[in-house]
Every structure is written in C-alpha cells, then in structure tokens.
C-alpha cells in the first residue's frame, strides 16, 4: 500500500541512497566545470554561487523541516507548512539578491541569481519530503533526490560542453529539475492535503517560533561563506576555484553524517514527547560516537588516497593541494554536528539557543578569517571554520543538556 510505513532501517537506506546520488552528481558538476572550461574562473564563480546559496537556503527553509517532522501533536497542518514555505522562498530570494548585489562582482551576479532559482526547486520539495518523513516513507525522498541529481548533472554537462557558458549551464540545471516537483506533490498528497493555505495568525506564529533558529542557521551557513569570500578576496578567484575543487569531495563525509541522524528526527522527538529522556540520551551518545568514527574514517581515507584521487579526477597539478583535506574534513564534520545539535534544540523548542550559538560562531569567522588566511594560507579558510563551529557546538550542546534536564525535572514534579 502507498501509505504503509517503512522501517527506520529502510528509511535510512532510501535517504542515504538518494542523498548519495544527489551529492555525487553535485560533486561531479564541480569536476566538470573544471574539465569542460578553460582555467579556474568558472569553477570559482560556481563555487561562489553555491556559497551564496548557502545563505539563501536557511532563510528559505526557515528551519521548518525539523519543526515539521518533530510536530508530534500535529499542531500545524501540511497545507500551512507548504504555504509558509512558499512565503519564505520569496522573501529569501529577494534578500539574497540584495546581498549578492553589494558583495559580489557584477559579472558573477547572473550566475548566482540563476543558481538560486535552481535551489528553489530543492527547497520547495523539502517541505513535501517532511510529509513523507512524518509518514515514514522516505523512499519517495530518496527517489526524488536521485532523479534531480542525475537530471541536473546531465543538463549541466551537456550545455557546458556545447556552449562553454556557465550561465547557460546553470540555467539548464534549473529547467531540468522543476518537473520533479510534480512527482513529489503526488507522493505527499497521497498522505495529506498539500494545497497551500494559511492564515496571517498561523504565519506569524510559525515565523516567531522558527525565527531564532532561522537567523542562527543563516549565521551557521555564513560561517563558511565569509571564510570562502575572504579567501577569494585575499588570494583571488582562481585560488578560490582550486580550493573549492579540492575540498568539494569531503562534503561526502558531511552528508554521511547527516544520513546517520536525519531519519531519526521523528523517533527521537517521540522519545522526548513520551518522556523517555534516558533512552534519548543513550541515542544521543551513539550518534556522537558515530560522528567521531566518521571523522577518523575521513581523515585516514583522504590522507591515504586524496592525492591519487585528485590526480585521477582533475590533474597532477591539483594533487599537490591534497594538504587541504585534513582541515576540510574536520570543518565539514563540525558543520554537520552543529546542524544536528540545531535540529535537536528545535525539537525541544529551544530555537533561541540555535541563534546564539551560531551567532557566536559567525563572529569568530568574521573577525578571524582574514588573520587565519594570512597566517595559514588556503588552509586558513577551513581552520577558521573548525574553530568557529567548535565554539558554536560547545555552547549548543550545553544548552541541549540543560533543556533536557529541565524537561526531566518537570516530568518528575508532575508525577509526584
């Protein structure tokens, strides 16, 4: 039956397969932009567009997915979640374009704008995937992510090979993935009504509930964006293109970290709702241990095979930059860990802690990026991210433990 729930294991499998295919396709896009174009300018421009889209995405997503999946008592309808997502996408697009205009070279702005359009498809579908996840049917999510990844890769590479135009290639990506929305609408509508409908009161309620987390998540993404923009500003677009090309493969480690916990958001929230705090903390410890394991695997793997991989995929010239891998692996693992802690704080409805923690991390990036890049060169862009996220995660983890303790005490008082 279409509405039959899958096991947690099967949901994790489908989410992992779809995410991995999408990620590999995205990475291959960054490889092909180097292979199919002359020099590294196009790679630098695409990297910058991706980095700026990391500011757009948190605002457009507005932390609704985590809030939606952990809404165990169904206080908000799917129609309202969908309508709210459309509103946030429009707002985020306008804000990011203004940011781009004042911080980016004019010749790169069209590429950034079209890449944001491409991301709109993913971000709208995300709220539909929240419905699938709530009903434990992440097979629809996995198929959608895989299809969009393949379509974007094929369209991008074909158009770039023929036209040698990065702008037209990104436009082709955007056009190719939008029909997938129809598939996801059909899948989600089998479970719940997805026609957008929301009152101004409910819109304001969701806005206020998620705003601290949204600002915090935007700060989170801006930590990386500031570091990369400072790298491009100090050392040039070509160096940024080299850095982005070398470091992109390590994002696989970050995605693997997300595979660990994304399908567990609902089950973890149900443990909290049922007052099973010890079981929740045991699961939390296991997930943290998995993060450490992935870090070790990533560091060892890229240390052993990183240079050969770069030489095979790109060129022997880029293999000489394999020294960038160590700090890059650490930075993406820390980024994934901070995102996990943010989701857990949203689940316990403590969004303010997400804002404060990520704001502290962003301040570290803003004030220290220049010095770190001056001192450590290209590695400085990754190292400052590691430091910023370490400070961020320490604060958020303490806030989460404090919140869980308060909830546990309240339950015992009520029982007594």
- Is 306 within 8 Å of 325 (Cβ atoms)? yes
Q: State how far the Cα of 354 lies from the Cα of 128, in Å rounded to an integer.
A: 24
Q: State how far the Cα of 124 lies from the Cα of 56, in Å rounded to an integer.
A: 13
pLDDT of residue 93: 93
Q: State how far the Cα of 134 lies from the Cα of 111, in Å rounded to an integer.
A: 35
Q: State how far the Cα of 379 lies from the Cα of 70, in Å rounded to an integer.
A: 38
- Is 372 within 8 Å of 382 (Cβ atoms)? no
Map residue 260 onto helix, strand or coil.
helix
Better-scored residue on pLDDT, 265 or 115: 115
pLDDT of residue 362: 93
- Is 377 within 8 Å of 247 (Cβ atoms)? no
Residues 6+ apart with CB under 8 A from 198: 79, 80, 83, 84, 87
Q: State how far the Cα of 123 lies from the Cα of 129, in Å rounded to an integer.
A: 10
- Is 145 within 8 Å of 126 (Cβ atoms)? no
* Mean pLDDT, the chain, whole residue set: 85
The one-character DSSP state at 137 is: -
Residues 6+ apart with CB under 8 A from 391: 360, 361, 364
Please give the C-alpha separations between residue 56 and each of 227, 280, 332, 334, in angstroms, as whole numbers. Answer: 17, 32, 19, 21
Q: State how far the Cα of 313 lies from the Cα of 35, in Å rounded to an integer.
A: 9
Model pLDDT for residues 34-81, shown as the tens digit of each residue = 777 766 677 778 878 888 887 888 889 887 888 888 877 788 899 999
Question: How does DSSP assign 39-94, residue by residue?
Answer: SSHHHHHHHHHHHHHHHHHHHHHTTHHHHHHT-TT--S-HHHHHHHHHHHHHHHHH
Tokens of 335: 């980024």
The one-character DSSP state at 416 is: -
Q: State how far the Cα of 224 lies from the Cα of 109, in Å rounded to an integer.
A: 19
Tokens of 142: 């996995």
- Is 42 within 8 Å of 32 (Cβ atoms)? no
Model pLDDT for residues 115-152, shown as the tens digit of each residue = 999 999 999 999 999 999 888 888 999 999 999 999 99
The one-character DSSP state at 4 is: P
Lowest mean pLDDT among 19-23, 34-38, 220-224: 34-38
Tokens of 3: 């509405």
Helices 265-273 and 109-134, interaxial angle, to 10°?
Answer: 50
pLDDT of residue 411: 61
Q: State how far the Cα of 115 lies from the Cα of 93, in Å rounded to an integer.
A: 11
Model pLDDT for residues 359-410, shown as the tens digit of each residue = 999 999 999 989 999 989 889 989 999 999 999 999 999 999 888 888 776 6
Tokens of 405: 């303790």
Alpha helices in 236-350 (DSSP H): 237-247, 251-261, 265-273, 277-313, 316-319, 325-347
Q: State how far the Cα of 390 lies from the Cα of 385, in Å rounded to an integer.
A: 8
Better-scored residue on pLDDT, 146 or 272: 146
Q: Quick check: 306 pLDDT over 70?
A: yes
- Is 131 within 8 Å of 191 (Cβ atoms)? yes
Q: State how far the Cα of 391 lies from the Cα of 397, in Å rounded to an integer.
A: 10
Lowest mean pLDDT among 42-46, 286-290, 339-343: 42-46
Please give the C-alpha separations between residue 320 and each of 7, 99, 232, 242, 246, in angstroms, as whole numbers. Answer: 45, 35, 20, 11, 10
Better-scored residue on pLDDT, 243 or 170: 170
Tokens of 108: 């790169």
Domain boundaries, the chain: 1-198, 247-408
Mean pLDDT of 154-160: 92
Place of tokens 């590999």: 24
pLDDT of residue 384: 93
Query: Cα angle at 336 between 251 and 282, to 5 degrees?
Result: 135
Q: Quick check: 1 pLDDT over 50?
A: no
């Amino acid at each position: 039956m279409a509405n039959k729930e899958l096991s947690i294991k099967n949901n994790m499998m489908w989410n992992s397969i779809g995410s991995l295919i999408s990620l590999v396709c995205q990475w291959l896009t960054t490889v092909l932009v180097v292979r199919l174009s002359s020099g590294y300018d196009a790679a630098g421009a695409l990297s910058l567009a991706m980095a700026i889209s990391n500011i757009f995405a948190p605002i457009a997503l507005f932390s609704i997915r985590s809030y939606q999946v952990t809404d165990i008592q169904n206080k908000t309808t799917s129609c309202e979640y969908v309508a709210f997502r459309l509103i946030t996408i429009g707002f985020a697009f306008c804000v990011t374009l203004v940011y781009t205009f004042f911080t980016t070279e004019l010749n790169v702005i069209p590429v950034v704008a079209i890449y944001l359009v491409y991301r709109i498809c993913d971000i709208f579908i995300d709220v539909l995937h929240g419905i699938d996840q709530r009903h434990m049917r992440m097979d629809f999510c996995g198929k959608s992510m895989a299809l969009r990844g393949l379509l974007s890769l094929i369209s991008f590479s074909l158009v770039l090979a023929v036209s040698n135009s990065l702008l037209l290639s990104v436009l082709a990506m955007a056009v190719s993935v939008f029909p997938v929305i129809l598939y996801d609408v059909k899948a989600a509508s089998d479970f719940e009504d997805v026609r957008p409908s929301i009152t101004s009161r409910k819109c304001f309620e969701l806005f206020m509930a998620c705003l601290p987390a949204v600002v915090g998540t935007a700060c989170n993404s801006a930590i990386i964006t500031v570091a990369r923009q400072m790298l491009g500003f100090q050392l040039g677009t070509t160096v940024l293109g080299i850095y982005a090309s070398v470091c992109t493969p390590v994002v696989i480690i970050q995605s693997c970290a997300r595979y660990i916990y994304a399908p567990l958001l609902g089950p973890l929230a149900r443990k909290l709702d049922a007052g099973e705090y010890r079981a929740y903390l045991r699961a939390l410890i296991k997930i943290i241990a998995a993060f450490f394991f992935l870090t070790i695997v990533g560091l060892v793997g890229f240390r052993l095979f990183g240079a050969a991989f770069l030489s095979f995929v790109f060129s022997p010239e880029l293999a000489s930059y394999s020294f960038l891998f160590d700090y890059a692996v650490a930075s993406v693992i820390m980024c994934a860990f901070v995102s996990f802690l943010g989701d857990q704080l949203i689940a316990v409805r403590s969004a303010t802690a997400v804002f404060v923690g990520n704001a502290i991390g962003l301040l570290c990036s803003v004030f220290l990026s220049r010095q770190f890049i001056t001192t450590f060169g290209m590695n400085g862009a990754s190292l400052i991210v590691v430091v910023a996220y370490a400070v961020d995660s320490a604060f958020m983890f303490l806030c989460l433990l404090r919140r869980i303790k308060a909830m546990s005490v309240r339950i015992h008082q009520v029982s007594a």
